[in-house]
Chains A and B, each alone.
Chain A
Amino acid sequence: MAKDIKQLKVSAIRNGTVIDHIPANNLFKVINILGLDHIDNQITFGTNLESKKFGSKGIVKISDKFFVDEEINRIALAAPEAKLNIIREYQVEEKKEVIVPDQFSGIVKCVNPKCITNNEDVKPKFRVISKKDVSLKCHYCEKITDQEHMVFI
């Protein structure tokens, strides 16, 4: 079968989580948001891979790591269409999608330089006002940060 001979660009893992369909230019943001640069697990990733949907995509495979939904939804801003595969003994045990939360704190900076979160030690906090092309309303200064202007912390 064609599927069996398809070569994997990023080698398979035995147990763990595969995060697929990350926009290639946001791959390192996703790695950052999940703190993958600070953990000891084996991680393999690929970027600028061919994707019908995005043109090019990134993929991350993390061995022996299973995220809780709350953790994983944090990447929704950088990769709203990411798909997760939970792997056990080389088999896909479960598939998950990312859910854009209604509100959250941290992760991105408020776009407004005059906002308190950019002037004092205050953690940014947002309400999500659009989930499609994610746009955020600052809980403090009430200004809107759109996808184009998102700067990840």
Chain B
Amino acid sequence: MRNKSLISINDYSKEEILRVLDLAGEFENNPSQDILRGKVIATLFFEPSTRTRLSFESAVNRLGGKIIGFTDSSSSSATKGESLKDTIKTVSNYSDLIVMRHPVEGSARYASEVGMVPIINAGDGANQHPTQTLLDLYSIRKTQGTLNNLNLFIVGDLKYGRTVHSLLMGMAHFKATFWFISPKELRIPNEYKLYMDQKGLKYHEHTDFRDIAGEADIIYMTRVQKERFSDPIEYEKTRNAYLLKSSMLKGTKGNLKILHPLPRVNEISADVDDNEKAYYFTQALNGVYTRQAIISLILGLKN
């Protein structure tokens, strides 16, 4: 993993994923370590993503590293018309590792080919966001004690949701049963069903989970955006089915946890926040440990 860029969750084998999760656990027990002293990490955010950026910067700061970078493209030379290649080549000279978020799909892979230092993809358009997937896996394993044989409910926009597709690929290493709950218009695309068939993974598709929530070990909520619907009436009719309320958690399993990649808009009612099954804020905290683990593995500071 040393010096290897992390662009897509498929860049890591099952063993490498587990190594990240184990190390993230060590950082959870001991989050402040001075192992990044003297290292410079560049965070290049060509589009704003406050949450992801702060999580990375918190991870670097807790390890004693220094950060350079920009928070949106208006403060970078991209506005002067500089190519991504030139930006990456230049910043490679100034840093030991580049974390980048870019609206163009495939930009991170390209950056990893032209840069002289490893790249961590912090989101390239609708394509990949592998550190989110790793922190999701960490959160699942931590709350369930295992990644194997779980019933994973994924609710919301399964058609366009980047986190959903990456999570599915990450979980494919472990024999999970997937329950896909979405409006008809936002169903999981066929290519992913084919992928699961090839891997021999079980899955179910539903349009409502109110009657089946009792089966779930994890409910992973995602945002359903109104713009995705061709018919606004359809959106109004279906939105309630994808809104999680505390009352819906009665009779669910004791080990059930609710996850959400955040930011949430209105798909989880605020009354769920006080329920012990709500886990999304801790999930965000786990992002810091997971990113500490990824950064220190890539820089060869941990093995």
- Which A residues have a C-beta under 8 Å from some C-beta of B? 110, 112, 114-117, 119-122, 138-144
Contacts and interface: CB of A to CB of B under 8 A. Distances in A.
A85 B84 CA distance: 45
A116 B105 contact: yes
A110 to B, nearest CB: 8
Given A114-B104, A116-B84, A116-B105, A140 B125 contact: no
A144 B192 CA distance: 12
15 contacts: A114-B104, A115-B105, A115-B106, A116-B84, A116-B104, A119-B104, A120-B84, A122-B110, A139-B109, A140-B105, A141-B106, A142-B105, A142-B128, A143-B127, A144-B191
Interface residues of B, number: 17
Interface in B59-88: 83-85
A122 B109 CA distance: 11
Contacts of A116: 84, 104-107, 109-110
A112 B107 CA distance: 13
A149 to B, nearest CB: 15
B109 A140 contact: yes
Given A114-B126, A116-B106, A140-B109, 6 more contacts: A120-B83, A120-B85, A121-B85, A139-B106, A141-B105, A143-B105
B193 to A, nearest CB: 14
B8 A142 contact: yes
Contact of B127 (A117, A119, A122, A142): A142
Contacts of B128: 142
A112 B83 contact: no
A114 B109 contact: no
Nearest to B8: A142
B11 to A, nearest CB: 11
Nearest to A142: B127
Contact of A114 (B8, B84, B125): B125
* A interface majority secondary structure: loop
B191 A142 contact: no
Contacts of B125: 114, 141
A143 B125 CA distance: 12
Contacts of A144: 191
Interface string B81-124: 00111000000000000000001111101100000000000001
B168 to A, nearest CB: 14
Nearest to B105: A141
A57 to B, nearest CB: 33
A116 B100 CA distance: 14
Contacts of A143: 105, 127
Nearest to B114: A122
Query: Closest 5 interchain pairs by CB?
Result: A140-B106, A141-B105, A141-B106, A116-B106, A116-B107
A118 to B, nearest CB: 9
B87 to A, nearest CB: 11
Contacts of B8: 142
Given A141-B127, A142-B127, A142-B128, A117 B191 contact: no
B104 to A, nearest CB: 5
Q: Which of A110, A140, A144 has the most CB of B within 10 A?
A: A140
Nearest to B126: A114
A54 to B, nearest CB: 29
A117 B83 contact: no
Contacts of B83: 120-121
A106 B128 CA distance: 23
A119 B104 CA distance: 8
Contacts of B104: 114-116, 119-120
A18 B78 CA distance: 49
Interface string B180-198: 0000000000010000000
A141 B7 CA distance: 11
Contacts of A142: 8, 105-106, 127-128
B106 A138 contact: yes
Contact of A112 (B84, B85, B105): B105
A114 B105 contact: yes
B198 to A, nearest CB: 12
Q: Which of B107, B126, B191 has the most CB of A within 10 A?
A: B107
B289 to A, nearest CB: 27
